[in-house]
Every structure is written in C-alpha cells, then in structure tokens.
Homo-oligomer: A and B are copies of this chain.
Amino acid sequence: MLAEDRLNTIVSMVQQAGSVTVPELADALGVTASTIRRDLQTLDRAHRIAKVHGGATSLERAHVTRDLTISERSDLHNDDKERICARAAALVEPESFVYIDSGSTTLRLIEHLPHLESVTYVTDSVLHAQHLAVRGMRAVVLGGELKPETEALVGPDALATLDRYNFNCGFWGSNGIAAEQGFTTPDIEEAQVKRISMRHTAKRFVISDASKFGMVAPVKFADFRDATVITAGEVPAKYRAMDNVITV
C-alpha cells in the first residue's frame, strides 16, 4: 500500500467516524503507531484533520469545541456533509464567477466542484486557493493580511479587491444560524470580509450542517434572509419550513 493511499484512508476514516484513536488506525492499516503518529502530523499540517491527544478528529470538531480530547465521540453526520457539498456544487454554472469563503465546510465543497474551464473561483483563503489550483481550477486570491489560525485573508486590501468584483454565486460557512440574529461568526475581521463579499454576489448560499441552527456567534455578517441555506440532518421544524432553507 502506498503511503499516499494510507493518508487518504486515514482522512476518510476520520471524517466518517468523527474521531479515531491511534491504535485503531494502526490496526486497520497494518502499520505501527509511530507511523500513524507521523501521518497524523503530516495531515494536521496540511489541514486535512486535527491531531489531538490519543488520535485525530475532523477539522470542525476541533474548531467548534476547543476541547482537544478524544473522550466524547459522536458521529459527525458526515454523510450529511457530503450530500450538502454535492448539492451546493451542482449550483455552479458554466461561465460563472464564483466566490468561496474560508472554512472547513467550504474546503470540503471544493472536492465536489465541477472542473469547468469557464469558471473562475475567488477565495479569501490561501488554503482553499491551493486546493483549487492543484485540482486544475482557475483560482484567484484576495489580497490582505494572512491570519495564521484560519489561513484567511483580512483587512483593507481584501475588502478593496472585493469592491472590484461581482460574483454570480458564492458559498459561505457560518458558525451560527438564527432567524433573528442572522448569520454569525466569532471573528470580527473575517465577518467584514464575509459581509462585503456577500454584497457583491448575486446568488448567496450558506452551507452548514443542522447543528448550527439556533446558534449565535459574536459577530453578525448577514441577515437570515440574505442567503439560501443548504443543509442536511435534523433541522428544527421552525427552519425547515422556511423557503430559503434547502434540506438534502
């Protein structure tokens, strides 16, 4: 088995289960724990998974709960995520100019995006841009200051660049989704980028699993009515009925 394949297998296992332990991986792949640890280190650096004491968890699990233990292990509705991304990717039309927000959910989206020559993708994340470019897509990056934690670009340069663009459609992640408080995120600078990028986009989509409904993060970046939510899973009845919520 190729080392590369092993890495990919680990990523799938982590994403499917939400979290796995080192011995589990070692056993499943027929290598020692040392090798697994090294693999996890590699994948962590590549932002494919989050390495934690005892094993690894998927990215958003580590992002939402700063708690870095393996103790609680629940299924992360990963099938949901896949379906959400597949549905969202199908909305990209030929000849369009598409905005991709930073974040782990939109990173997953990239794997589903169509390889159309005529489509240009613009993003505020250097990580996303690299993934797009490696997959052979036309990738444009906003300028600005690079935030090390999220690999996202913020500041006046990012905003100034956005002012020159107008997108056919765009995809954003959101930490909180609530009818009254709208779409919210923890970081004030990233919120600005989200807000301005939405203002320049015709068709706006927020992609998120059902767990974000009813949650509120510190900074609002859009009203609930400003975007269509693409989601899956146990959506509260209140939201399920709304006409800008698509449940797949």
List residues of A whose CB falls within 8 A of some B CB. Answer: 2-5, 7-8, 11, 18-19, 21, 42-43, 45-48, 52-55, 57, 59-68, 111, 126, 129-136, 138-148, 151, 153, 155, 157-158, 161, 164
Contacts and interface: CB of A to CB of B under 8 A. Distances in A.
Given A136-B148, A161-B157, A4 B143 contact: no
Given A2-B52, A68-B45, A157-B161, A130 B141 contact: no
Contacts of A164: 157
Given A68-B42, A129-B146, A141-B153, A134 B63 contact: yes
B157 A140 contact: yes
Given A57-B5, A126-B141, A64 B43 contact: yes
Contacts of A141: 126, 141, 143-146, 153
Contacts of A2: 19, 21, 52-55, 57
A210 B7 CA distance: 40
A4 B126 contact: no
Contacts of A19: 2, 4-5
A57 B4 contact: yes
A140 B143 contact: yes
B59 A42 contact: no
A65 B10 CA distance: 13
Contacts of A161: 143, 157, 161
A187 to B, nearest CB: 15
Given A126-B130, A126-B141, A146-B140, A135 B59 contact: yes
